Structure 1
Amino acid sequence: MPDTGPLGPPVPKWRPGPSTTTSVLPAEPPDPVLRSRGLGGPTGLGTASLSLARTPDPALPAPAPPAEGKAVPGLYHHAVPEPDAVRVEEVSRRIKRWAEDEVQLYPEDWEGQFDGFSVGRYMVGCHPDAPTVDHLMIATRLMVAENAVDDCYCEDHGGSPVGLGGRLLLAHTALDPLHTTPEYAPEWETSLGSDPPRRAYRSAMDYFVRAATPSQADRFRHDMARLHMGYLAEAAWTETDHVPEVWEYLAMRQFNNFRPCPTITDTVGGYELPADLQARPETQRVIALAGNATTIVNDLYSYTKELASPGRHLNLPVVIAERERLSERDAYLKAVEIHNDLMHAFEAAAADLAAACPLPALLRFLKGVATWVDGNHDWHRTNTYRYSLPDFW
């Protein structure tokens, strides 16, 4: 009986389907960034586009000196190069103009919070292979729109679990258009501009679909439906004052998580992972584990922020503490271990898939997801405006 590993079965050897193009690739040293994550696979003819380095130096980019902010002690993560400052500044300028002028996203007194989110640094760090700033803006608008829905519908800027399903359903039609009768279509069109979250969703999606293929757009809609289902599960637990079991919480977090962000890494990178490769169970497992690990990163870095907010906020350390009768410190440290297990499982699954199916588009996509995971952690670590660590060490 094969060793199944801690979090799932091994990836079977790749069997290309009829629509998957394969080629024989000469043996050359694997891409250095992929190799550092165990995602190397063969390289050669047709794989030059996999390299994200800005210089031809084959060495790995040297990690930047630690920016402000401390990593969670014991958290498994990878250092990343400092995001391109010129791009950060330009993305930050453009996204603020979009938020203020195109979608009227926030009132004037929220401006400091918008600036403190540092979304320009976030997206540049997560997508270093984006060909242009226009490509980076695709991800940046969607990130800001998703956070507006979360804040205004679910969280601390007017959000409530009461009636959340109706609000999310109507907002989702800004992503997945309503096909209705001529009599009622104008009312739906008008509704898309009725509040900031819907305006942001509609505008961000309009930009996205102009850059994406139909299959990429449909993939994103599917992942956003997953996200909204996760929001609803958490809201239902809030309404019934239910603290889930740890496994239940982790199930919810597989849906209420960052998955829509790394899943568009190919669109932002200016290429497409073919739909048949993206839909493979092995690829889906990699994406799911990446989303799960990055979301636990958010739980850990936002822990003190959430404890200081009114009401009870469910996050992994809180759930572990209550369900497993652990101290706050021990529960937090166990959450770090769970994150690390998920990260190791993600990297193992990605490495197995890269070895089994060394196609250039898939290798680049796996590398892009790994880069997004690292950039997401670095943004959390350095965003001291939003986050601070508990005093558990």
Structure 2
Amino acid sequence: MPDPGPSPLQSSLPAAAARFGAHVLAEALAHGRGEAETAGAHAAASAALPSPPTLPFGRAPGAEAVPADVPVPDGGPTPAMERILRGPSGLGTAALSLARRAEPAAPQALEAPEPHEPAEPAVGRPIPGLYHHPVPEPDPLRVEEVGRRIKAWALDEVELYPEDWEDQFDGFSVGRYMVACHPDAPSIEHLMIATRLMVAENAVDDCYCEDHGGSPIGLGGRLLLAHTALDHLHTTKEYHPQWEESLHADAPRRAYRSAMDYFVRQSTPSQADRYRHDMARLHMGYLAEAAWAQTDHVPEVWEYLAMRQFNNFRPCPTITDTVGGYELPADLHAQPAMQRVLALAGNATTIVNDLYSYTKELASPGKHLNLPVVIAEREDLSDREAYLKAVEVHNDLMHDFESEAAALAAACPAPSVVRFLRGVAVWVDGNHYWHQTNTYRYSLPDFW
């Protein structure tokens, strides 16, 4: 795929949409650098973007400020990073260098959508004290079209759910979720990449682990067989047909197989392998939680957070480049600093889920582990005190995520890195927006 230019934003989005995600980058790109370098860094982060909204961008009224002291490595990129940016050397390799590309390829233009009524403001209120950034309302035409297509896929292509689950499927509002998280997607089909994978992941969680027949008993075997829909079995001719037939055995496997087939057709081999790796991480997290459920074990808080680093949303923001129609090169994605940014983003967004789903899980049968529950039991706090402490944990993770992402953008201002980091920040914000506004699924505890 070509190097990305500025994100191709649909014309109906509010001006704020083009800037959202830049809050992660702007401060550190300027911090500690010379004037000329600063101007270049800001140009890389916000080229061709409209003027900021009235409020300081990305900051909810009354929200805490992002820490100003963002660490930026002295002396610019490390030798290892310089080697990666130089790319390979030798005959015929000039086109492979990231550093030599002065002008990124122009993004594909989007067709202007038909005029429509402005979207109604989102309902639901954010958790008091939770550090987050407000986002523009997602484009209603895209939301409607993604919702229509994903329901047709779920019903007609993979037979994902029985008729009496339809209300729950509609209440998930996956179209609004994915449009909010990926405003730079150049087409509806790019949005559908993320949407199918999201729905398939939730089908596995619901049907294998949670409320629709899930159980910790035998989970490992079910997950292993489902994972072969993502990471195909390579076996003998005698046994291959039996494996292939197994991919249609239940709704989660049908969904994984179909969603992954679509994804592979629109991603590069390295992007697909990256996703398989992150899904293996997710499945390992499922297994740890299941093991604790079987032994009635409440982990220490740090142990719970370790499990949540694997059982979390990471597979979603890690594909932001595929959904955006470009590629973050594998060497840059594998950098320890990038891996830390992705881990922090996944951890913060997953604690958001713990906090917004708290009352829903308490009302469900059995004992559900979430961060407030674990803190209350392990640190001998009241439910309210534990919940408010979990909010603080989230806020610390968010500040670390923003600081590390900004430092990485300053140290490695390659266009694909800057755009990828902005895309991950956008996903983090969109994820909070969906949780806040999905009043069908979530309600807040009475702790304020």
TM-score by length of 2: 0.78
SS in 1 for 2:310: coil
Match of 1:297 in 2: 352
Q: Of the two, which has the highest radius of gyration?
A: 2
Which amino acid is 1:38 matched to? L
Deviation (angstroms), 1:57: 2.6
The one of 174, 178, 188 equivalent to 1:133 is 188
Cα distance in 1 for partners of 2:163, 2:201 equals 20
Deviation per CA, 1:162-202: give whole Å up to 9, x if none.
00000000000000000000000000000000000000000
After superposition, the C-alpha distances for 1:35-73 in whole angstroms (9 at most, x for unaligned) are 43334636769x78x7698xx533249889852101000
Residue 100 (structure 1) shift = 0.1
- How far apart, in 1, do the equivalents of 2:413 and 2:26 lie? 10
Distance in 2 (CA, whole Å) between partners of 1:128 and 1:52 is 16
Question: What is residue 13 of structure 1 aligned with on the other side?
Answer: none
Q: Secondary structure at the match of 1:254?
A: helix
Q: Matched residues in 1 for 2:270 and 2:159: separation?
A: 30
Q: For residues 35 and 197 of structure 1, what CA distance do their matches in structure 2 show? A: 36
Aligned to 2:71: none
Q: How does 1:152-171 map to 2 (within 5 A)?
A: 152-171=207-226
Q: What SS does the corresponding residue of 1:344 show, helix, strand or coil?
A: helix
Which letter maps to 1:58?
S
CA distance in 1, matches of 2:122, 2:421: 26
Structure 2: which amino acid aligns with 1:333? L
Say what the alpha-carbon RMSD is for the aligned residues. 2.0
* Matched residue, 1:36: 23
Stretches of structure 2 lacking an aligned partner (at least 5 in a row): 4-17, 30-37, 59-118
Aligned residues of 2:20 and 2:135 also touching (Cα < 8 A): no
What whole-Å deviation, never above 9, does each CA across 1:112-157 have from its counterpart, x for those lacking one? 0000000000000000000000000000000000000000000000
Question: Aligned match of 1:187 in 242, 249, 272?
Answer: 242
Return the match for 2:428 from 373, 377, 391. 373
Secondary structure of the structure 2 residue equivalent to 1:110:
helix
Paired residue type of 2:326: Y
Partner of 1:383 in structure 2?
438
CA contact (8 A) 2:22 2:422 kept: no
Q: 8 Å contact 1:61–1:81 — kept in the other structure? A: no
Paired with 2:439 and 2:21, the residues of 1 have a C-alpha distance of 30
Whether contact under 8 Å (1:148, 1:197) holds in the other structure is yes
Q: Percent identity?
A: 78
Asked if the contact 2:376–2:386 (Cα under 8 Å) also holds between the matched residues in 1, the reply is yes
Would the alpha carbon gap of residues 171 and 294 (structure 1) be closer, same or farther in structure 2, given more than 3 Å must change? same
- Aligned pair 1:336/2:336, yes or no? no
Distance 1:61 1:145, change over 3 A: farther
Distance 1:138 1:197 in 2: 17
**Match for 2:424: what amino acid?**
V
Q: Give the drift of 1:270.
A: 0.2
For residues 65-123 of structure 1, give each alpha carbon's deviation from its aligned partner in whole angstroms, at most 9, with x where no partner exists.
Answer: 85210100000000000000000000000000000000000000000000000000000
Say if 2:19 and 2:50, in contact at 8 Å, map to a contact too: no
Alignment of 1:190-201 (within 5 A): 190-201=245-256
- Partner of 1:365, secondary structure, is helix
Contact 1:230 1:255 in 2 (8 A): yes
Q: Who is 2:318 aligned against?
A: 263
Residue in 2 that maps onto 1:112: 167
Counterpart check, 1:247 vs 2:234: no
Q: From 31, 38, 57, give the equivalent of 2:50.
A: 57
Instruction: Give the total of aligned pairs.
Output: 360
Give the whole-Å Cα distance in 1 for the aligned partners of 2:371 and 2:365: 18
1:122 maps to amino acid? Y
Paired with 2:26 and 2:255, the residues of 1 have a C-alpha distance of 36
Correspondence for 1:94 among 149, 152, 163: 149
8 Å Cα contact 2:135-2:429 kept in structure 1: yes
The 2-side partners of 1:38 and 1:224 are apart by 28
Q: State the distance in 2 between where 1:76 and 1:137 align.
A: 29
